[in-house]
Amino acid sequence: MNGNDRSIVGLLMLAHGMVHTYELSIPIFVTIWLAEFEVIAIAGVEVGVTQATLGLVVTAGYGLFGVGALPGGILVDRFGSRRLIAACLFGMGGSFFLLGVAPDLVVVAISLLLWGLAASVYHPAGLTLISKGMEDRGTGFAYHGAAGNVGIGLGPLLAAILLLVFDWTTVATVLAVPAILAGLYALRAEFDETAAVDGVGTDGGEPRTQGGVDSLSQFVTESKLLFAGAFVIVFLIVIANGLFYRGVLTFLPNLLEGLPGFEPIPLAAFVPGVEAGSGRTLKPERYFYAGLLLVGVAGQYLGGKLTDRVPPEYGIAGVFGLLAVLALSFLPVAELGIGPLFALGTVFGITLFAAQPLYQAAVADYTPSGTRGLSYGYTYLGSFGVGALGGAVAGAVLTYADATALFGVLAGFALVASAAAVYLIVRD
């Protein structure tokens, strides 16, 4: 990479890690909120807290994370990436400070909504910066994705470790600090945001040179042009990915705690100074969950490098086909013990996150450079906006059916994405 590429990657690795640190620490808190809160009181109406109702609360924040990506993408095309990335970081830090003083689930929901709003601009800003500012795009996607998974894995791990000593509100406050510091760095970083753009984008082979969206009518026109081509199939892929991703991760710690080998371990057994019978325990499912996410670093790097070597459509078809098999195998393998589940979880984590650089590259291949921010806005509207419904679907299936049904539904999402990629291959 040249100097400009390195400057861009340095900032984006830091910011991407921050975004996913917060995103995936939330399910660690979900297990605590299920035990701590009995009702949600809104306008004098009290609703009991179940996996279904809490799934809706979390889905609201995650949904805004995706829905806000579309206006975020428009802003990126007009104002550039740097300022939006800095605003994202400051906003996420502030939302977790609010979460740290939340007295009830209503304030928790407000905090998650504010987090989702702040975080929503990151992916359009970051991915546009890679696709327009970096000469070595594939390596940029690889390092960017790997850094995201460092946050995805270390965020929940850090939260789990801190929860051994502090209550969840203190942990949320501590987690807010790194984002504020990262935001200050974003304001000072130096790079050329458009160093790799030659002024010509492609949409099904047609050259175009747009420079952003200036009005509602232009927004409608550009959106119609995007969805008139093969991007509509890529959009279906990212929606299926989002439903699978959010559906499997939102309640995974809660699912794991009921499996063989995940019984709570008293801290007094291995931590000096902790009194026996204190009730303080180590939760193995939190560390398994964090480990599964952390191995996704290898998946992100693998997926990024694959985009330089094979057409992304082929990679997408294979990765999602494998995810369908892994989803259907998860519970049967779990019955064999924690060792086999650890092996499957490793493959699962790598495969789950290998998909992301592949569909990010597909977006770049099927959209014009002048509205790349808008394109990635739609991408994360689909993946994290519509995809956020995966958390609500998971909560409902677990409440009214069981885990076996949930993994069957997840396999269906993966097969839809794989079939859509095969269609792109045949179409080309």
Is this structure's pTM higher than 0.95?
no
What residues does 39 pair with on adjacent strands? 48
Distance, in Å, from the CA atom of 57 to the CA atom of 382, rounded to the nearest integer, reads 19
Cα–Cα distance list, 418 to 41, 320, 345, 402, 413 (Å): 42, 5, 21, 25, 9
> How much is the pLDDT for 320?
95
Worst-scoring range by mean pLDDT, 101-105, 107-111, 126-130, 258-262? 258-262
Please state the rounded mean pLDDT for residues 312-326. 93
Per-residue pLDDT tens over the stretch 35-60: 888 777 776 677 777 778 877 888 88
Task: Give the up-direction half-sphere exposure of residue 237: CA atoms within 13 A in the CB hemisphere.
Answer: 31
Q: Report the share of the chain in percent with pLDDT over 70.
A: 91
pLDDT digits (tens, 9 = 90+) for 256-314: 877 777 777 766 666 555 556 556 677 778 788 878 888 888 888 888 788 878 888 99
Dmax (CA) for the chain in angstroms is: 71
Q: Give me the pLDDT at residue 200, please.
A: 39
Residues 6+ away with beta carbon under 8 Å from 348: 292, 323, 326, 330
**8-state DSSP, 189:** -
Beta bridge partners of 203: 206
Tell me the residue type at 44: G
- Res. 210: pLDDT tops 50: no
Question: Whose CA is closest to 130, among 307, 378, 312?
Answer: 307
Is 57 within 8 Å of 109 (Cβ atoms)?
yes
- Using an 8 Å Cβ cutoff, are 317 and 420 in contact? no
- Residue 386 amino acid letter: V
C-alpha R_g of the chain? 21
Which tops the pLDDT comparison, 31 or 171?
171
Residue 201 is predicted with a pLDDT of: 38
DSSP, res 272: T
Share of the chain above pLDDT 90, in %: 25
Q: Which residue has the higher pLDDT, 153 or 33?
A: 33
CA atoms 268, 272, 275, 280: torsion sign: negative
**Residue 96 contacts residue 175 (beta carbons within 8 Å):** yes
pLDDT, residue 428, reads 72
Give the pLDDT mean for 19-28: 86
* Residue-level pLDDT at 203: 36
Answer whether residue 317 shows pLDDT above 90.
yes
The reported pLDDT for the residue numbered 351 is 93
pLDDT band at 206 (very low <50, low <70, confident <90, very high): very low
| Residues constituting the chain | 428
- Residue 296 near residue 344 (C-beta atoms within 8 A): no
Range scoring the smallest mean pLDDT among 118-132, 172-186, 213-227, 343-357 = 213-227
Between 104 and 368, residue with greater pLDDT: 104
Residue carrying the six token digits 């330089």: 308
Mapping DSSP onto H, E and C, the string for 108-173 reads HHHHHHHHHHHHCCHHHHHHHHHHHHCCCHHHHHHHHHHHHHHHHHHHHHHHHHHCCCCCHHHHHH
From CA 30, how far away is CA 23, in angstroms rounded? 12
Integer CA distances (angstroms), 271 to 133, 185, 283, 416, in order: 49, 38, 14, 48
What is the per-residue pLDDT for 422? 95
When pLDDT is cut at 50, 70 and 90, the band that residue 73 belongs to is confident
Three-class DSSP category at 237: helix
Instruction: Give the chain's mean pLDDT.
Output: 83
